Every structure is written in structure tokens, then in C-alpha cells.
């Protein structure tokens, strides 16, 4: 009697123990905590400091987590190469794709194909066409372009200004938006664009185009570069012609070691910050990988740095 009671108690304990173990095993299987996720990062080029910074921001955030591994591909400013990179990430069955596309239209199809293959996609900084992606992260380039236009109108205080506009690649949405926002803000004012060129975001192109502008026009008051490399290229051309003192230069990006440093050094009069969003992309990727629903669009803020406020950290753009 006594012996059988001991056996029963022993059996009960072992059943409880096994079921505990089983439950534990099951819950571990259903969490994602110990799964290693692979994220593909398709960067359109690493030839510009801003993109190097974007990848560094992705990396420093990703390094904080041991359940993600990021594989980087640099398309070297070649759209066809970037299309193949996306296709390679899809064939490799990455768990999530982050892409900063060179151009909108040609990368829209590959992004859709990734989505169709069940791979969530975060589009960073430059948009694709339509809304077949999981999330877009970037600052509002119409707002930044408008703020640049308003700054010029105010700075020249009704006296008017003759402007050279050195545009970012016009097949990429930030270039179109920075142009449209600026034009909207100067409409009806005395600010006049006397020369415009698509310098495709590149400093050497900007320098060349500015040389043409300088040879055609004796009177230039300001250069609006769609990014800081464009504004800097224009400054170098003006300096070589001995005319940099007569012209103001403004740009966009405001990296601490690039645009902001140019403002501190008196090369640029103003720069508007364009955050890379690299760190936020990783934070959002983790949410998506954990099965959470995320916002379709995350709009990043911006700051304005001028000669007057650069030492105190600039001002937030409203
Ligand atoms: C770098 C860059 C930046 C610019 C951004 C726009 O490739 O040209 O200077 O702000 O891309 O997408």
C-alpha cells in the first residue's frame, strides 16, 4: 500500500516534470529570440560621404543585436547592378530587405518581386513608385526644398537674387522634390533661377556646370545645391574664378564632417540636414521580423545650420 503510494507520487512528479520541460521547449520554438535573421542592405553607391554614413548608421545599430546579420551590397551608382543585387537577395531568401534605390522607376519592379516572394522591404531615403513595400523611411524633401527657397527669399529681403540651381538626379524623387519645393517657395518673389543643371548628386559634375554658369553670367548671387557636395563643387569653381566672395552657397545633408564643417569654415552659408535613417531602419526591421505591424511611412525631421547658428547646433525645421 505504502509502496504503491510512493510509486504514484513519483510518477506524478515525473509527469509534471516532463510536461514542464515540454512546455518550455514549445515556447522556445515559438519565439524568435534565438533565430538569426539575415537582412540584405542594398545601397545605391558608397562614393558619397552621406551614403557611407548611412551604412555606418545601419551597422552601429545592427551591432547592438546578436540575432541579426546584415549583408551589404554596393551598386556603385549603377541601376542595373542594384537591380541584380535585389534579385540576388531574393534568391538567397534573406529575411528582410533594406534598399536605398538609385532611381525610382527601375527599382520598383525588383522591390515588388521581393514583396511577392514574402520578403518584407524597407525603402530608405529615395522612394520607389507606388506603395508595394513594407515601409518607407525618409525626410520630406519638398519641405526641405521649400525651406531652402524661403531662406533665400528672406536672406535677400526683397532685393531679389540671381540663383544657380544644381539639381540632384532628376530620376530620383529627392531631386524632383527638392526642385519642386524650392520653386514653389520662390514663386512670386524677386528670386530668379538663371541657370539650372542636373548634376546627378555629384561634386565633379557640379563644379563643371558652375564653370559654365560663371562664364555665362557676371552676376550670380547664390548657388542652391541639392546636396552639400554640389554646393561645394560650385564653391570650388567660383573660387578658381576668384568670384567666391560675391556668391552665397547653400546645400543639403549637413553631415557633421561635411556640410556643417563647410558652414563653420565659411564655405557654405547654410545647409539643411537630411538624416540617413539608417539606425531607424534597423529598429523598424526588428519590429517587422518580430511580426509587428509598422507604420507605412516614417518621416524624419530636419535642421537648418547657418553661419549664425552653427555653433549652437542649428535650428529644427518646422
Ligand atoms: C547621396 C545623396 C545625398 C542626398 C541623397 C538623396 O547619394 O546624393 O547627398 O541627400 O543622396 O537621396
Could you give the domains of the chain? Answer: 33-139+276-300 (3.40.50.2300), 141-274+306-316 (3.40.50.2300)
- Determine if ligand 1 sits within 6 Å of the CB of residue 274: yes
**Whole-number pLDDT of residue 3:** 55
DSSP secondary structure letters along 256-275:
TTTHHHHHHTTS-SEEEE--
At 65-105, the pLDDT tens digits run: 999 999 999 999 999 999 999 999 999 999 999 999 999 99
- Determine if ligand 1 sits within 6 Å of the CB of residue 252: yes
Cα–ligand 1 centroid distance for 164 (angstroms): 19
pTM above 0.75, yes or no: yes
Please state, in angstroms and as integers, the Cα–Cα distance from residue 140 to each residue in 90, 114, 143, 197, 209, following that order. Answer: 29, 25, 5, 22, 27
Residue 163 in grid coordinates? 540663383
- Kindly report the number of other CB atoms within 10 A of residue 299's CB atom: 13
At 25-68, the pLDDT tens digits run: 444 444 555 799 999 999 999 999 999 999 999 999 999 999 99
**Whole-number pLDDT of residue 157:** 84
Does residue 165 contact residue 179 with C-beta atoms inside 8 Å?
yes
Does residue 144 contact residue 274 with C-beta atoms inside 8 Å?
yes
Does residue 253 contact residue 271 with C-beta atoms inside 8 Å?
yes
**Whole-number pLDDT of residue 23:** 45
- Considering only CA atoms, which of 76, 78, 117, 81 is closest in space to residue 97? 117
CA distance 151 to 270: 9
**Whole-number pLDDT of residue 159:** 87
Best of 42, 51, 228 to mutate for ligand 1, by most ligand atoms within 8 A of CB? 51
CA distance 54 to 63: 14
Best of 143, 174, 202 to mutate for ligand 1, by most ligand atoms within 8 A of CB? 174
Please state, in angstroms and as integers, the Cα–Cα distance from residue 216 to each residue in 111, 212, 250, 317, following that order. Answer: 43, 6, 21, 35
CA distance 24 to 240: 72
Best of 49, 54, 204, 227 to mutate for ligand 1, by most ligand atoms within 8 A of CB? 227
- Considering only CA atoms, which of 67, 66, 111 is closest in space to residue 89? 111
Residue 162 in grid coordinates? 540671381
CA distance 198 to 161: 21
Residue 229 in grid coordinates? 557636395
Has residue 250 got a pLDDT over 70?
A: yes
- Determine if ligand 1 sits within 6 Å of the CB of residue 37: no
**Whole-number pLDDT of residue 27:** 42
Amino acid at each position: 500500500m505504502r509502496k504503491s503510494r510512493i510509486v504514484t507520487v513519483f510518477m506524478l512528479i515525473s509527469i509534471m516534470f516532463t510536461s514542464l520541460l515540454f512546455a518550455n521547449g514549445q515556447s522556445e520554438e515559438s519565439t524568435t529570440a534565438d533565430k538569426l535573421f539575415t537582412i540584405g542592405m542594398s545601397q545605391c553607391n558608397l562614393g558619397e560621404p552621406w551614403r557611407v554614413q548611412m551604412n555606418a548608421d545601419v551597422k552601429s545599430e545592427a551591432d547592438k543585436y546578436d540575432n541579426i546579420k546584415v549583408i551589404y551590397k554596393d551598386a556603385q551608382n549603377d541601376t542595373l547592378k542594384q537591380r541584380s543585387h535585389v534579385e540576388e537577395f531574393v534568391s538567397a531568401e534573406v529575411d528582410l530587405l533594406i534598399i536605398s534605390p538609385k532611381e525610382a522607376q527601375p527599382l520598383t519592379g525588383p522591390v515588388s518581386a521581393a514583396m511577392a516572394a514574402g520578403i518584407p522591404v524597407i525603402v530608405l531615403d529615395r522612394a520607389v513608385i507606388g506603395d508595394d513595400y513594407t515601409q518607407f523611411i525618409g525626410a520630406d524633401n519638398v519641405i526641405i526644398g521649400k525651406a531652402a527657397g524661403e531662406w533665400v527669399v528672406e536672406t535677400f529681403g526683397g532685393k531679389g537674387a540671381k540663383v544657380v540651381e544644381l539639381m540632384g538626379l532628376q530620376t530620383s524623387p529627392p531631386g524632383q522634390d527638392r526642385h519642386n519645393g524650392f520653386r514653389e517657395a520662390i514663386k512670386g518673389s524677386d528670386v530668379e533661377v538663371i541657370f539650372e543643371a542636373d548634376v546627378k548628386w555629384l561634386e565633379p559634375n557640379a563644379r563643371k556646370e558652375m564653370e559654365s554658369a560663371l562664364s555665362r553670367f557676371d552676376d550670380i548671387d547664390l548657388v542652391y545645391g541639392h546636396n552639400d557636395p554640389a554646393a561645394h563643387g560650385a564653391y570650388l569653381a567660383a573660387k578658381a574664378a576668384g568670384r567666391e566672395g560675391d556668391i552665397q552657397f547653400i546645400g543639403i545633408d549637413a553631415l557633421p564632417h561635411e556640410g556643417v564643417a563647410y558652414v563653420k569654415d565659411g564655405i557654405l552659408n547654410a545647409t539643411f540636414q537630411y538624416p540617413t535613417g539608417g539606425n531607424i531602419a534597423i529598429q523598424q526591421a526588428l519590429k517587422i521580423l518580430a511580426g509587428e505591424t509598422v507604420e507605412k511611412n516614417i518621416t524624419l525631421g530636419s535642421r537648418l545650420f547657418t553661419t549664425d547658428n552653427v555653433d549652437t547646433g542649428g535650428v529644427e525645421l518646422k
